[in-house]
Amino acid sequence: MEQTFIMIKPDGVQRGLVGEIIGRFEKKGFTLKGLKLITVDRAFAERHYADLSAKPFFNGLVEYIISGPVVAMVWEGKNVVTTGRKIIGATNPADSAPGTIRGDYAIDIGRNVIHGSDAVESARTEIALWFPEGIAEWSSSLHPWIYE
């Protein structure tokens, strides 16, 4: 089944949004396959956001991500990459719909609380980067109540 990498950024952890965010993915019906609280260093953050290294906001973005612990997660389910991005909301919270995580809990684009992989391929790369030790092998017994 499809998997995605979701990260609660340092502002989300500091603001006490961890339980709320995990709850939204759980209640949707997705399955938690990996979870850890981790503070990453500059080189690691630069690798995670390597695609954005030419952007003017890159240094600020890296400073933001290394400013405190983040919650790194792997979530699994049908269309979880695309649906996860919908649950998260638009990149700029000024454009995120109410009901999305960023729409409900963020104001500035540089403090937008959460990251989600943007494609199945980048999810694979990000899961390998953040969980080199591997993730949990289990499947939820609720599947027949979630999938037809």
**b or e along 99-114 (b: 16 or more beta carbons within 10 Å of the residue's beta carbon)?**
ebbbbbbbeebebbbb
The answer to whether residue 60 forms part of the interface with ligand GTP (CB under 6 A) is yes
Query: Which does residue 66 touch among ligand GTP, Mg ion, none (CB within 5 to 8 A, set by kind)?
Result: none
Is 2 one of the binding residues for ligand GTP (CB under 6 A)?
Answer: no
C-alpha to C-alpha distances, 1 to 69, 120, 139, nearest whole angstrom: 29, 11, 10
Nearest to Mg ion of 63, 143 (CB atom):
63
For the question of residue 143 being annotated catalytic, the response is: no
Between 35 and 140, name the residue whose CB sits nearer to ligand GTP: 35
Cβ proximity to Mg ion: between 122 and 140 the closer is: 122
83 binds ligand GTP (CB under 6 A): no
Q: How far from 78 is each of 2, 4, 22, 96, 134, CA to CA, in Å? A: 6, 10, 17, 23, 21
Q: Residues 44, 118, 120, 140: which binds ligand GTP (CB under 6 A)?
A: 118
Catalytic residue ranges: 115
Binding residues: 9, 57, 85, 91, 102, 112
